[in-house]
Amino acid sequence: MAKAIPLTKPARPRFLKARAGWPEMLPTLAWLVALIVVPLVYILRMSFSADPFALTATGWSLANYADSIPFYWDNLLNSVLIGLSATILAFAIAMPVAYGISFYGGRWKAVLLFAFFAPFLTSYLIRIVAWQTLLGANGPLFGPLQQIAGLEVRVLGTPFAVVAGLTYQLVPFVLLPLHAAFNRIDRTLCAAADDLYSGRCGGRGAAIGAVGGLAIGLLLAAVFFDRGGIFATWPIAFVLAAAGLGAAVGGTMTERFALIVFPLSRNGFIAAAVLSFIPALGDYVNAALLGDIRTQMLGNVIQAKFLVELDYAGAAALSATLLVAAMLLLTLLLRLIRGTELLDVV
């Protein structure tokens, strides 16, 4: 098994020293400025507009923020908590999958990777309809339960259903950057680790896993169960189970993954986290179709204000809040991956 490890670094990509080619790029850059930069700047401008129901920005005022953010605080909290839960669960699903495809996929690599993207070749809305069907009280999962055992399980209309639907949509956003990062790892390092008797993480891994599981369990319990009611019996069992699962995963995780693969694919993890959490923050269709009035996210308020109430300025203030949060995350991404080209991480 042991192969010699090449001591030279892989060659950096070469670039031509030639003219930049601005004339060819000009139409595209103009397009991007007109349809991305201008609208986003205009949202910021509109959020300070003095007349809430005018269709164009007029005057200056802070009232839109002062009126809307305290009023829609619960929706903002939903966006962050539900978005974060779905992102974490998408990692829990996509991380082992990306690792498995990259390291154990063999000749099935391309087919397996495609299999995880194939479900997204239908239609966003039809996928959510399918989740409505699956989770419905009369659906294929819970319908028989009700008919046979007389148990009525209400999942549709709960935060759990929203998180499940959103997690499903986020899997590819996590899978792709992670798979790309894992693929770039020099396999001879793993062979070297095996030669040096790398094993499982054991006690230390279990301890770290338990703490992580506990934190994630607390977050999910806060989202799934009644807010503030974390300390009823059910949620306690849930949190303890999450901590136990974390300890089991941490303890049995190979040192190969924890000490080689994970640190070397750091940029992939950062990109995956940002690229999945940002769409999760802004999503509203899952909350509208799988949740109830108490799971409505900031996106639901924004789309209602823009498309139904025509309160452009108020909607712009909430959009600007989301936009600033997204741009802060993007800046954080840029800082953390410094030294790597931005487009190389996706």
Q: 64-71: list long-range contacts, CB under 8 Å, 24+ apart.
A: 64/313, 64/314, 64/316, 64/317, 65/317, 65/321, 67/314, 67/317, 68/314, 68/317, 68/318, 69/317, 69/318, 69/321
Interaction between residue 328 and other proteins (CB under 8 A): no
Interaction between residue 58 and other proteins (CB under 8 A): no
User: Please, what is the minimum distance in Å from the beta carbon of residue 176 to other proteins?
Assistant: 11
Candidate residues 36, 62, 236, 240; the one interacting with other proteins per rule CB under 8 A: 36
Stretch that binds other proteins, among 29-37, 65-73, 224-232, 239-247 (CB under 8 A): 29-37
* Residues recorded for the chain: 346
Residues 6+ apart with CB under 8 A from 150: none
User: Please, what is the minimum distance in Å from the beta carbon of residue 7 to other proteins?
Assistant: 21
Question: What is the pattern of x (binds other proteins, CB under 8 A) and - over residues 160-189?
Answer: --------x--x--------x--x------
Question: What is the pattern of x (binds other proteins, CB under 8 A) and - over residues 186-225?
Answer: --------xx-xxxx-------------------------
Interaction between residue 323 and other proteins (CB under 8 A): yes
Candidate residues 4, 6, 7, 123; the one interacting with other proteins per rule CB under 8 A: 123
CA distance 346 to 344: 6
CA distance 6 to 25: 40
Residue of 87, 105, 7 lying closest to 272 (CA atoms) = 87
Residues 6+ apart with CB under 8 A from 45: 57
Candidate residues 5, 53, 140, 227; the one interacting with other proteins per rule CB under 8 A: 140
Size of the site for other proteins (CB under 8 A): 108
Interaction between residue 91 and other proteins (CB under 8 A): no
